[in-house]
Chain A
Amino acid sequence: MARKAVLALSTVLLLATSALTACSTEAPDSGKAGKGGSDGKITLGFAQVGAESGWRTANTKSVQDAAKKAGITLKFSDAQQKQENQIKAIRTFIQQKVDVIAFSPVVESGWDTVLKEAKDAGIPVILTDRAVDSKDTSLYKTFLGSDFVKEGRSAGEWLAKEYADEEGPVNIVELQGTTGSAPANDRRAGFAEIVEKDDKFKVVASQTGDFTRAKGKEVMQAFLKSHKDIDVLYAHNDDMALGAIQAIEEAGKKPGEDIKIISIDGIKDAFVAMTEGKINVVVECNPLLGDQLMDLTKKVADGQSVPPRVETEEGVFTQDQAAEALPTRQY
């Protein structure tokens, strides 16, 4: 009996591990190795985090489309949210002698060794979307991505303008992102920086909604019951705002009118809600950085100097712009 159990257990484990390794061997196609740069075309090795959200999928598509448009050969690798896969992909890029390596680091730390290897091989590195905490900034050329603090500030500035003529007090509830994550911390800090300047703004409640619709709705329902006079909802992402809208409607109030809603990201569903008048303003967090990335790639491949920090082009959309922008939203 016991031996049978052990046998079965080991079979299952073996199956499970072989399935896992089968998944992770999606490193870039090594058959095409050694081609980079030889035909005058620039080759870019791009190591993506994974495909964990609609935002990320749009990010991937933007990079792929932009590469095609710019005539850059793209070698794409999906790390499936694992750092070891990403390191493996970068090493393969180095062996293939690509001209430029770009990647969105899964985590912030542990990149020094592999980045040094790239530097020794003379391949410039561009970080996209997320930063690394390496002290040696010579290991990468530039970091292209959103400034979350600035997004928070933009949200606060819209609010300050909207309520510029009103006496107040303005009661604000905040739905935070996942506790401790960079976007949650920074979006909170940027927003607080602006609203703290004026005493009429009061953040009466602030809880995490884990960036999800279900939690956003649940937390907002509780807010609505414990605070009778909420004027403004500030959500760290669209999904939480969309969940909260349902809660507000179930409480018999009108989202966008009785409670003004500010949200960040700019997914398609949020634009739909804006055209229905349910969200007042969306601060964009743009995943479509493909074109900017290709520009930078050409420059660093050419040996030109680039600024160490490049911000993605991001807008602030209000209800009257929403209808016009909606058909162009890709994610």
Chain B
Amino acid sequence: MTNRPAVTARGPMTRRLAGHRLLWPSLVLIALLLGNLAFTHDFFAVRIRDGHLYGSLVDILQYGAPLTLVALGMTMVIATRGIDLSVGSTVAIAGALACEHIATSSDPGGATTVLTAVAVALGVAVVLGLCNGLLVARLGVQPIVATLILMVAGRGVAQLITDGQIITVNSDKYHMIGGGHLLTFPFAVLLAAVLVALTALVTRRSALGLLIESVGGNPAAGRLTGIRAAGLLTLVYVFSALCAAVAGLMISSNVNAADGNNAGLWIELDAILAVVIGGTALTGGRFSLGGTVLGAMIIQTLSTTVYTLGVPPETTLVFKAFVVIAVCLVQSPVFRAKMPRRRKAAAPRSDTTADAAGRQQEARA
């Protein structure tokens, strides 16, 4: 980790690097959106309908919100060189708990009922996160194994809660979380934005972000400087579970139903992909929240593109795979450096190679 700039030099230096890191995902997102505009001419049109915003872009933001949240938690876990496979199950459990509570209560529309339901879901999520955290931090189980247990068992738990059925709820207050609107904006988008902003504030305006990065970057050095890795590790897994639980509330409230079998199925893989597209390395030690948000938006835009373009379902996965490969290649400094002649308009070479060298060094570290 000798290449990590000293804390005093962080300001302008990191800002410039971050600018570079986010450049490519941003360009990909813009390209995807423009591609849609070419096929669907009013793709960017946003109207007011029934007192709220309505349009394809709003859809992308609204459906991207749960994925953004899951990816947000995943970013912090990956920054510690870990991984959390259990988020999909946590999504299902949170939705199931909340809907079960509302469906069985005497007053499904009441504010107290909904608040209790949310509290129960979040409370259980903390316990699930603590389980993961303790397995990883105290017992030293590899993160992929520790969270795999909850990934498999958790879906069974969600099915137990819902009794294998889809629970339908009729509560306008609960529907607010994932499907409602505040000041014409989808509430889910506002909620996700606030949580991302809070996370950015706490990790980047205090030393917390740096401490988390140190756990992932070089645990031994961190320990020698007096950083308590165990507490930080537990914290990121609890945070990840909480983010997943909020996403689970959004997903279930958007359709007014909890589906233990299918809610959040494979969302962990989409979240990991979002984190990686956003430029956070799986080797840990560095994270980019802005990149993660961009990554999640790219993935959601891709899904919406598939639906609006009418890509046949049989070829959807191949289509997505090609776009993801293109995104990864265009982001790879090594790849970019290898084709300098074809892309003269690209960023100045000196910067590109410096970035490449930096990344290679970090990968080795």
Which of A's residues lie within 8 Å of B, judged by CB?
A: 1, 4-5, 8-9, 12-13, 16, 19, 51-54, 56-57, 176, 179-180, 205-208, 210-214, 217-219, 221-223, 225-226, 239, 242-243, 246, 250-252, 269
Contact = CB atoms under 8 A, between A and B. Distances in A.
A187 to B, nearest CB: 13
B145 A12 contact: yes
A214 B149 contact: no
15 contacts: A1-B140, A5-B142, A8-B141, A9-B145, A54-B166, A57-B164, A206-B310, A207-B310, A213-B166, A214-B259, A217-B254, A219-B307, A226-B40, A246-B179, A251-B49
Contact of B308 (A54, A222, A252): A222
A225 B261 contact: no
B164 A56 contact: yes
Interface stretch (B52-60, B120-128, B205-213, B231-239): B52-60
Contacts of B56: 222, 225
Nearest to B258: A213
A54 B165 contact: yes
B140 A213 contact: no
A205 to B, nearest CB: 5
B49 A212 contact: no
The 9 closest A-B pairs by CB, nearest first: A222-B307, A5-B140, A8-B139, A208-B313, A226-B308, A213-B255, A212-B262, A51-B164, A179-B313
A214 B251 contact: yes
A4 B304 CA distance: 47
Contacts of B304: 222
| Size category, B interface | 35 or more
B221 to A, nearest CB: 16
B89 to A, nearest CB: 14
A239 B263 CA distance: 13
A236 B179 CA distance: 24
Nearest to B165: A54
B316 interface: yes
A310 B208 CA distance: 66
Given A218-B303, A225-B56, 11 more contacts: A1-B140, A5-B141, A5-B142, A51-B159, A51-B164, A179-B314, A217-B255, A242-B255, A246-B256, A251-B54, A269-B168
B306 interface: yes
A56 to B, nearest CB: 7
A8 B145 CA distance: 11
Interface in B216-266: 251, 254-257, 259, 261-263
Contacts of A225: 40, 43, 55-56, 59, 308
A243 B306 contact: no
Contacts of B139: 4-5, 8, 12
A9 B142 contact: yes
Contacts of A210: 262
A71 B252 CA distance: 43
B282 interface: no
A213 B146 CA distance: 31
A15 B120 CA distance: 27
Interface string B312-349: 11101000000000000000000000000000000000
Interface in B3-56: 40, 43, 49-50, 54-56
Contacts of B168: 269
A205 B311 CA distance: 9
Contacts of B152: 16
Contacts of A56: 164
Contact of A243 (B163, B164, B255): B255
Nearest to B252: A214
Nearest to B305: A222
Nearest to B47: A252
B91 to A, nearest CB: 11
Nearest to A4: B140
